[in-house]
Amino acid sequence: MVFGNMGETSGTGVCFTRDPSNGEKFLYGEYLVNAQGEDVVAGIRTPQPIETMAQALPDAYQELVDNTQLLEKHYKDMQDIEFTVQDGRLYMLQCRSGKRTGLGAINIACDLVAEGLVTKEEAVGMVEPGHLDQLLHPQFEDEDAYKPDVVGKGLPASPGAAVGQVVFTAADAEALHAAGEKVILVTIDTSPEDVGGINAATGVLTARGGMTSHAAVVARGWGKTCICGCEALRVDAEAKTMELGGVVLQEGDWLSLNGTTGEIIQGKQPLKSAEMDGAFAEFMTWVDGFREIGVFTNADTPADAAVARANGAEGLGLCRTEHMFFETEERIATVRKMILATTDAARQAALGEILPFQRADFEGIFEAMSGLPVTIRLLDPPLHEFLPDGEFDEICEQLAAIAGTSPEAVGEKIEQMEEVNPMLGFRGCRLGIAYPEIPEMQVRAIFEAACNAQQAGAQIASVDIMVPLVGTPAELKSHEQIIRQMAATVFSEKGATVPYRVGTMIEIPRAALIAGEVAETAEFFSFGTNDLTQMTFGYSRDDVNKFLPTYLESGVLKNDPFEVLDTEGVGQLIEMATVNGRATRPDLKVGVCGEQGGDPTSVEFFNKTGLDYVSCSPFRVPIARLAAAQAAINAKKK
């Protein structure tokens, strides 16, 4: 036992060999004269900056500086050090690698390489994927300062800090955003109709839904902060009020969300913006040097694709064609006309109206991804998802005008479309089997767009058309026929060709089980780990929040399987399908386009399984690149 509280020639302190918040190289820390360790931590006395120790205890200070430099060289990392001075003599108590921010982690790693202390390979291992997450989103200035204002907690569905004025409908979010304000959209839950509102919001808060609910997935895709499943939240959308933790907020009141912790904070908390500098870019080139698995992106619009590309995406792994349907009033009205059609001719006519805007969107995507492969998924959700929310009678009135029939006829049609379990219902390729004119239109739009973009100067690397929800070889074969026939037709009309592949999502357990047979037709597989996890576990991601918190608390599950891939169960299917698929077709391209494509421990599994690429939302692309590099480095070590 040594004592720092033996008078003015004694003292105690904590220091870092570099500034953990930005990596700057100087002795960073604080100390107290005539004190023990508890005094520094307890906060009763205010510690002094460590550099003032040079005057107070000059010999001990010089020795401390020398020691810290020695320790850092020895451990080859920034050190967090505790020390005590007893009667002028320095005692080193403890040292360990210090915790750091994202910015700090990047700068320290780069500096250590420059100083020759670590190799680039070691440097890549020193930055946690979560560190990049911090760098890519704005942060609160001081997470301790806001604690008294925390009114509740939800699931940290999409990281970052968001501060804005509360609104309760997607329309209000768009209106207030258009007026130049920052808004937080607060709802019970969100539906595809709300995407405009989510896009307009800086943050989203919902009472229902899990980490992979609609709101969460959309928000993450756009790098928006999102907190989901805040069960204690009460929302009265009509009165435009919310209640949480005893606090009632009206429309326009300020609210802050910490999407990294799930904290919901009253008021307008101060923010600091995301910082990026040259070290980050340099670091990422090292990362890519070690990486073996490709990193693609999930993107539905040319703007998203451009962001992803800037973040280093090497291809587009998932373009959800249906997200385009909601972009304008005119589009969604046309889609509804198609859905409500009672004759093939009426459906064909509506599809004819959808074709031009699908084509225009695809052109933009092909241009944004020029030179890189683009994977487009055919229509996936059940058609009733495109119908408006609201009072049944009002909807029928509204749709009758669009469909040119009576409200009663519309009502009957809507009732026929209702499903008990829409997740397991009439969707995906099942739609294309029943209404081949839908994939025909979509495939035409894709090939016309690819040819047009090529003519306009874009380089078409590969058009990968992906059939969703395949469970039997016949479903894929039927779509393959449509795709190949339409390709031939469009190529002949355009007098041009583009390279293309026909492939499928592997997202139904049965598809994984019979993958060898599926690969007779499929030129590529893309594991849809969201749906595959839902069906392998029998968990609805919309409802899982009813019991998942209990499961995680009681240790029934170690992780949320929608965030971290379940390697034992779902992973077994992925491995089986990859092996059997490649046994049939050795050059089968295999990727993954679920949410876990951007999760580090999941990426490690995908790397080990020999997948060609992972695909994740634009903002997670750098994280996936780092995770993939670390996975490759770790695999080499084993």
User: Which residues does the annotation mark as catalytic?
Assistant: 214, 593
- Supply φ then ψ for residue 378, to 5 degrees: -70, 165
Nearer to a second copy, 144 or 238 (CB): 238
Query: By C-beta, is 30 or 542 nearer to a second copy?
Result: 542
Choose among 569, 568, 637, 630: nearest CA to 293.
630
Q: How far is the CB of 479 from a second copy (least distance, A)?
A: 11
C-alpha closest to that of 526 among 474, 466, 606: 466
Of residues 84 and 545, the one with the C-beta less far from a second copy = 545
**Bridge partners of residue 320, in order along the sequence:** 377
Is the Cβ–Cβ distance between 2 and 84 less than 8 Å?
A: yes
CB of 192 to a second copy, least distance (A): 13
Dist CA 91 CA 12 (whole Å): 9
Q: Which is nearer to a second copy, 132 or 470 (CB)?
A: 470
Q: Which among 193, 195, 167, 161 is positioned nearest to 181, based on CA atoms?
A: 167
> Is 185 within 8 Å of 97 (Cβ atoms)?
no
- Phi and psi angles of residue 61, each rounded to the nearest 5 degrees, phi first: -60, -45
- Residue identified by tokens 């923010």 is 271
**Tokens 């893309």, residue?**
526
Residues that bind a second copy (CB under 8 A): 231, 416, 419-426, 430, 433-434, 469, 471-472, 474-475, 478, 507-510, 513-514, 531, 534-540, 542-543, 546-547, 550-551, 554-557, 566, 568-570, 572-573
Q: Of 52, 10, 3, whose CA–CA distance to 33 is shortest?
A: 10
Minimum CB–partner distance for residue 579 and a second copy (Å): 14
Closest CA to 265 of 157, 189, 162: 162
Sequence-separated (6 or more) residues with CB below 8 Å from residue 488: none
Q: Which residues contact 195 (CB under 8 A, 6 or more apart)?
A: 170, 218, 323, 326
Minimum gap (Å) between residue 470 Cβ and a second copy: 10
26 versus 547: smaller Cβ distance to a second copy: 547
Rounded least distance, CB 417 to a second copy, Å = 8
> Cα torsion at 622, 627, 628, 633 (round to 10°)?
130
Nearest distance, CB of residue 588 and a second copy, angstroms: 20
- The pairing of strands 150-153 and 263-266 is antiparallel
- Which CB sits closer to a second copy, 329 or 568? 568
